Amino acid sequence: MPSTTGFTLWLTGMHGTGKTTMAAYIAARLRQVGRNVEILDEGEIGDDLWQGLGDTKEERSTIVRRLGYVAQVLTRNNVAVLVPSVSPYKSGREENRRQIGRYVEVYVDCPTETLIARDSTGKYKKALSGEIPNFIGITEPYEPPNSPEVTIHSDTEAVEDGAMKIFQSLLDLGYVTSDELKIITGKKMKANPVAKQARRGEPKADKGGGGKGTGAKARPATRAARVAKPAAPAAKKTPKRK
Q: Choose among 116, 128, 156: nearest CA to 14.
A: 116
**Is 120 a residue of the active site?**
no
> Is residue 20 within 8 Å of residue 84, measured between CB atoms?
yes
Q: Which strands form 150-153's sheet, in the order they lie side by side?
A: 37-39, 80-84, 7-12, 103-109, 150-153
Neighbouring C-beta atoms of residue 187, cutoff 10 Å:
11
Strand ranges for the chain from DSSP E: 7-12, 37-39, 80-84, 103-109, 150-153
Active-site annotation holder among 3, 61, 87, 147: 87
d(CA 105, CA 145): 8
List the Cα angle 98/111/57 in 5-degree steps.
45
Residues known to be catalytic: 87
